[in-house]
C-alpha cells in the first residue's frame, strides 16, 4: 500500500498547490478556499494603485486600463468548472515527475468580470491577427528557460462571449492565489489557459511559441514529437468518496443498506449526456441519475446513484459520456506530461455495520 511514489520535490509542489477534497463536490460552487490551486512560480503581490492592464500588439489602438476602469465596463458572470490538465497525473504509469495530482485538481466557481470581446473590439483587431496572447506578472525558470507565465488562444476562442477578464470569484475580489487583481477565464479549456495576474494582452499575427505553448501542454509520447496542443477538458465524472475514511489510508467504510453515491460530471468538449456507476470494478455498469445543468454549460452537473449495499468488499467506479461520443477510458492514457488522464475513478469500499452514524 505505502509505496514511495513521489519525490521530495514533488511533495514541495504538492504542498504549495493544493487540491479540492473530493467531498467538496457536495457544494454546487466550490467555496473558494477549497478550490484547487496551481501556480508554476511565485504568487505575486500586486499594488492596484500602480497596476494597469496593457492591451496592444496587432490592434488599431493600444489600451491601458486601471482596475476601476475595468470594473466600470460591462460585466458578466459565469460558473466554470476548472480542471488542471495534470489532474490524474499521479495515476499514470510510467510515472511522470511534476505536480503529482491524484484526482482533486478541479473546482467550480462563479467568476465575474468584463467580457474580453468588448475590450478587443475597442482596441480594434487588425487584419491578419491569429491569436491573443496573455502574459502574467509571475516569472520563473522552467525547462531551463526564464520566462513570464504566458499562453495564447486562437482569435475565434478569444471572441467567444463567455471568455472573461475576471476580477471577482464567488462574489468577492480575486484572492491573491487565484490571480488578483485580474485573470483570464476560458470556460471549457484546461486550467493552464486561464492566465492569472494579467499584465498584458497582445493580439498577435503569428502563433505564439513560448515555452507553455511549444513545450508544455502538448500530447507527446517522446521529446522529438511536436504533438497536438492540450486544449479542452476531457469528459470526466468523479464521486464523493462514500461512507467514512480511515485517517491514514483513506480506505472507505460504508454502512449496510441504502446508500446514495453522488458526484459531479463535466466535459469541455461537449455537454455530458450520462453517467454510469459500477460496484464491481467496471465489470458491470448501471446508469446514474444526472441532474439538469442548472449552473450552465460550463459547470459540472450533479449525479447520484442509489446503492443497496450488502456486506463485503467492492470497487466503486463512475464513468461519464459526452454528446460528442467521448467516454472515459478504463485505463489511464499516457503522454510525456501526464496530461488529461480522465480514466475512471476507482474507490475500494468495505460494507459493514460500521459507519452507520454518518450524517
Ligand X SMILES: Nc1nc2c(c(=O)[nH]1)N[C@H]1C(S)=C(S)[C@@H](COP(=O)(O)O)O[C@H]1N2
Residues in the site for Mo ion, rule: CB under 5 A?
A: 38, 84, 191-192
Our CB check for Mo ion shows the closer of 84 and 132 to be 84
266 counts as binding ligand X under rule CB under 6 A: no
Our CB check for ligand X shows the closer of 109 and 295 to be 109
Residue position matching grid coordinates 458572470: 77
CB of 336 to Mo ion, least distance (A): 15
39 counts as binding ligand X under rule CB under 6 A: yes
The CA-to-CA distance between both ends of the chain, in Å, stands at 29
Among 101, 167, 197, 314, binds ligand X (CB under 6 A): 197
CB of 105 to Mo ion, least distance (A): 7
Our CB check for ligand X shows the closer of 195 and 288 to be 195
Our CB check for Mo ion shows the closer of 151 and 321 to be 151
Extract the C-alpha cell encoding 67.
Answer: 482596475
Q: How many residues does the chain have?
A: 359
Give whole-number Cα distances, 237 to 90, 104, 115, 294, 298, in Å.
Answer: 18, 12, 29, 17, 14
Q: 36 is in the binding site of which of Mo ion, ligand X, none (Cβ under 5 to 8 A by kind)?
A: ligand X
Which of these segments, 32-40, 45-53, 115-123, 327-335, binds ligand X (CB under 6 A)? 32-40
Q: Which of residues 138-167 bind ligand X (CB under 6 A)?
A: 138, 149
Which of these segments, 195-203, 246-254, 297-305, 311-319, binds ligand X (CB under 6 A)? 195-203
84 counts as binding ligand X under rule CB under 6 A: yes
268 counts as binding ligand X under rule CB under 6 A: no
104 counts as binding ligand X under rule CB under 6 A: no
Q: 186 is in the binding site of which of ligand X, Mo ion, none (Cβ under 5 to 8 A by kind)?
A: none
CB of 136 to ligand X, least distance (A): 3
Among 30, 34, 40, 213, binds ligand X (CB under 6 A): 40
231 counts as binding ligand X under rule CB under 6 A: no
Q: How many residues bind ligand X (CB under 6 A)?
A: 18
Which of 204, 186, 188 is closest to 196 using CA atoms?
A: 186
Our CB check for Mo ion shows the closer of 242 and 337 to be 337
216 counts as binding ligand X under rule CB under 6 A: no
Among 58, 89, 112, 196, binds ligand X (CB under 6 A): 196
Among 55, 192, 237, 288, binds ligand X (CB under 6 A): 192
CB of 95 to ligand X, least distance (A): 19
Extract the C-alpha cell encoding 241.
Answer: 468518496
Q: Which of residues 108-137 bind ligand X (CB under 6 A)?
A: 136
CB of 57 to Mo ion, least distance (A): 25
- 3-state DSSP of the chain: CCCCCCCHHHHHHHHHCCCCCHHHHHCCCCCHHHCCCCCCCCCCCCCCCCCCEEEEECECCCEEECHHHHHCCCCEEEEEEEECCCCCHHHCCCCCCCCCCCCCCEEEEEEEEEEHHHHHHHHCECCCCCEEEEEEEEEEEECCEEEEEEEEEEHHHHCCCCCEEEEEECCEECCHHHCCCCEEECCCECHHHCCCCEEEEEEECCCCCCHHHHCCCEECCCCCCCCEECCECCCEEEECCCCEECCCCCCEEEECEEEEEEEEEECCCCCEEEEEEECECCCCCEECEECCCCCCCCCCEEEEEEEEECCEEEEEEEEEEECCCCECCCCCCCCCCCCCCCCCEEEEEEEECCCCCCC
Which of these segments, 63-71, 193-201, 260-268, 307-315, binds ligand X (CB under 6 A)? 193-201
Our CB check for ligand X shows the closer of 111 and 307 to be 111
Where does this chain bind ligand X (CB under 6 A)? 35-40, 82, 84, 136, 138, 149, 178, 191-192, 194-197
Amino acid at each position: 500500500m505505502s509505496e514511495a511514489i513521489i519525490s521530495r520535490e514533488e511533495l514541495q509542489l504538492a504542498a504549495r498547490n493544493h487540491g479540492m477534497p473530493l467531498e467538496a463536490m457536495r457544494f454546487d460552487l466550490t467555496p473558494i478556499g477549497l478550490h484547487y490551486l496551481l501556480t508554476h512560480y511565485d504568487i505575486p503581490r500586486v499594488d492596484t494603485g500602480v497596476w494597469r492592464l496593457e492591451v496592444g500588439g496587432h490592434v488599431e489602438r493600444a489600451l491601458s486600463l486601471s482596475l476601476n476602469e475595468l470594473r466600470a465596463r460591462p460585466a458578466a458572470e459565469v460558473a466554470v468548472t476548472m480542471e488542471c490538465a495534470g489532474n490524474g497525473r499521479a495515476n499514470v504509469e510510467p510515472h511522470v515527475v511534476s505536480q503529482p495530482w491524484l484526482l482533486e485538481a478541479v473546482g467550480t466557481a462563479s467568476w465575474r468580470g468584463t467580457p474580453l470581446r468588448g475590450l478587443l473590439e475597442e482596441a480594434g483587431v487588425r487584419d491578419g491577427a491569429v491569436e491573443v496572447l496573455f502574459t502574467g506578472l509571475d516569472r520563473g525558470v522552467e525547462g531551463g528557460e526564464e520566462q513570464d507565465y504566458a499562453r495564447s488562444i486562437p482569435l475565434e476562442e478569444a471572441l467567444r462571449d463567455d471568455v472573461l477578464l475576471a476580477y471577482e470569484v464567488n462574489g468577492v475580489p480575486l484572492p491573491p492565489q487565484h490571480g488578483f487583481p485580474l485573470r483570464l477565464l476560458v470556460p471549457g479549456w484546461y486550467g493552464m489557459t486561464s492566465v492569472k495576474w494579467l499584465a498584458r494582452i497582445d493580439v498577435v499575427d503569428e502563433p505564439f511559441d513560448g515555452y507553455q505553448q511549444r513545450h508544455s501542454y502538448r500530447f507527446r509520447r517522446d521529446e522529438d514529437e511536436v504533438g497536438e496542443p492540450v486544449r479542452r477538458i476531457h469528459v470526466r465524472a468523479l464521486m464523493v468518496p462514500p461512507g467514512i475514511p480511515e485517517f491514514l489510508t483513506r480506505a472507505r467504510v460504508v454502512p449496510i443498506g441504502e446508500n446514495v453515491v453522488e458526484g459531479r460530471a463535466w466535459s469541455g468538449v461537449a455537454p455530458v449526456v450520462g453517467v454510469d456507476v459500477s460496484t464491481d470494478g467496471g465489470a458491470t455498469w448501471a446508469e446514474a441519475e444526472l441532474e439538469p445543468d442548472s449552473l450552465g454549460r460550463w459547470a459540472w452537473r450533479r449525479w447520484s446513484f442509489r446503492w443497496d449495499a450488502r456486506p463485503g468488499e467492492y470497487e466503486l467506479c463512475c464513468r461519464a459520456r459526452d454528446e460528442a461520443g467521448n467516454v472515459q477510458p478504463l485505463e489511464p492514457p499516457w503522454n510525456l506530461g501526464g496530461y488529461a488522464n480522465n480514466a475512471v475513478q476507482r474507490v475500494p469500499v468495505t460494507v459493514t455495520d460500521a459507519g452507520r452514524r454518518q450524517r
